[in-house]
Amino acid sequence: MNRVLIFGATSAIVEATARCFANAGDALFLVGRSQARLGSVADDLRVRGASKVDMATLDAIDMDRQGEVVSRAVEFLGGLDVALIGYGVLPDQTSAESDPAIVRETMEVNSVSTLCLMTHLTAILEAADTGTLAVISSVAADRGRASNYLYGSSKAAIDHYAQGLRCRLSGTGVRVVTIKPGLVDTPMTANFTKGALWARPELVAKKIYSGMKSGPEVIYVPWFWRWIMLAIRMIPERIFRRMPL
């Protein structure tokens, strides 16, 4: 049985991943903004087989309460084996280009609050010299594109921080996993036109769950996004800036 702490538990991808842990009989502590939604998710996970479930509300940018919530979770779980961070906002790029408030909010939610949480969680896992810290980034972090460079930048900060943690914790029992989904059909992307490259949250969640247990420490889901983004990163900028991406 794993003791699992999940931030962003009501998002589509993370909720689907939580079901995988519940099916395995793991103990879960859920964190999100909505008490009502957390309650519904918790009830569902209990039915699916979670050994025990508790929850706490936390606004992502309320960084003063992060330590308190983490401590409460670890006390309830009796320790910590797995931590998953998977919340974020997807700003309108056009609006952000003339509104610094949107830029600030995006970076505070997607970057600053996440890095602070990773710091809290790393301290606990490092003290125990075991466990997995996984954070959901995005393929958008791999290259700045005109259509979503604010969102991509906010996720790129997570990528670099996680990479640095992996270097620092090399040789310890702590595993740091970066998860990079491509296009996923979720409520956050409801207004996007869907095509062949889009994946369902349930498929992405299964890949996240299996990848957290073993495999590479940078996971592209679905798998083909690793090669798509490799090709995109190799395009010279003088050509790339003229592409409608």
Q: HSE on the CB side for 181, CA within 13 Å?
A: 27
Query: Active-site residue 151, yes or no?
Result: yes
Residue 17: name the closest of 89, 87, 73, 118 by CA. 87
Q: HSE on the CB side for 218, CA within 13 Å?
A: 16
The single residue of 87, 151, 161, 209 carrying the catalytic annotation is 151
C-alpha span between 63 and 112 (Å, rounded): 9
Residue 30: name the closest of 14, 6, 10 by CA. 6
C-alpha span between 186 and 174 (Å, rounded): 31
Residue 156: name the closest of 88, 237, 236 by CA. 88
C-alpha span between 242 and 222 (Å, rounded): 27
Residue 211 contacts residue 177 (beta carbons within 8 Å)? yes
Active site residues: 151
